Chain A
């Protein structure tokens, strides 16, 4: 089947799903990322703005950059939105940073969004896509426990489909690199604190200001920051003068030592590190 046709059919399925399943409307957990931005945008087009509410959960693990993108997308595409504060850092189980940390974060998020949805008679939905179903995502369990539906996954839309459909709609998120929360930069078992999250955020901001483009992660390894860049950027920033500017930028964000991962960016990079946190810094 022609790819354009297949994509159009996918979006039609989503539209049908929204009309049939949403009742009085939807309340979408909204990060301004590729998936939730597309979902909210289609929902506004299909249901109308009065039946859609996007909710941004604000906390130290949600970067200021991502928050700005979320606001910009909502404003530009007339998506009604509110912002609420979430307090996952007050939950010792989250702070301990176990491998199912996302479960506690999403439990906090949905426990705050569920009453809002109930008050307004809206269906709670998230931006989980079809590819996500194959990943290890403990946060999804928290959503299921609260009856959160995932229209993109239920309509079998993959990440690539969503990017292509976002491009059609002129969404600036179409080419946005994946942007998991800042806590994902800390190895499991390393306590999540506001200070550490802020340090990672400052370092990534400093590198963006320096001109680093594409996928970027500053991985927290105690007093050492392990920087992951996409391969083409790695070529550029490993040149001695550039490397020194990169090092200085990360040090200015509060890390004592800076290392560049020689393989470059890997999604879920910390998941494959075993026994980290014992030998590098404190």
Chain B
């Protein structure tokens, strides 16, 4: 599974929850602390707008309960920093493998 599964969590619960959420189209990282599952929506964009929908939240909580968790929380991601790649990467810093090698 992705994410850290600590001792005392429901055995295999993190992976079950991750798979169940993947079936619904959520690419999540599940971090476990006891019977708390902390979800990070890796590919869902800032803070997973889909979970602003109460029905979607209730569904996730239900899946968490079925996987053995008493609490399911969504970690709020900090804003994505947008880097101007053209400005921040100068030519000299680019590693160029030797084509001959």
Question: A residues bordering B, Cβ < 8 Å?
Answer: 221, 224, 226, 231, 234-235, 238-240, 243-244, 246-247, 257-263, 269, 272-280
Contacts and interface: CB of A to CB of B under 8 A. Distances in A.
A181 B85 CA distance: 49
Interface in B63-77: 64, 70-76
Contacts of A231: 54
B76 A221 contact: no
Nearest to B45: A240
B42 to A, nearest CB: 15
Given A240-B47, A262-B73, A275-B8, 6 more contacts: A226-B73, A244-B47, A273-B34, A278-B33, A279-B34, A280-B31
A280 B33 contact: yes
B18 to A, nearest CB: 15
B20 interface: no
A262 B60 contact: yes
Q: Tell which of B75, B76, B78 has the most Cβ of chain A within 10 Å.
A: B76
Given A261-B71, A262-B51, A275-B7, A240 B46 contact: yes
Nearest to B10: A274
B contact face: mostly helix, strand, loop, or mixed:
mixed
**4 A-B pairs closest in CB distance:** A275-B8, A279-B6, A275-B34, A259-B73
9 contacts: A238-B47, A238-B51, A246-B76, A259-B73, A261-B71, A274-B8, A274-B35, A278-B34, A280-B38
Given A258-B75, A262-B57, A262-B72, A274 B52 contact: no
Interface string B1-43: 0001111110000000000000000000001111110100000
B61 A279 contact: no
Given A238-B47, A262-B57, A257 B75 contact: yes
A9 to B, nearest CB: 41
B76 A274 contact: no
Contacts of A243: 46-47, 76
B52 A260 contact: no
A262 B54 CA distance: 9
A124 to B, nearest CB: 37
B46 A277 contact: no
Contacts of A263: 57, 61, 71-72
B79 interface: yes
A221 B54 CA distance: 24
B34 A244 contact: no
Contact of B76 (A258, A275, A280): A258
Nearest to B5: A279
B8 A278 contact: yes
Contacts of A278: 6-8, 33-34
A263 B59 CA distance: 10
Contacts of B72: 261-263
Contacts of B57: 234, 238, 262-263
Contacts of B73: 226, 259-262
A46 B75 CA distance: 52
Contacts of A238: 47, 51-52, 57, 74
B36 A247 contact: no
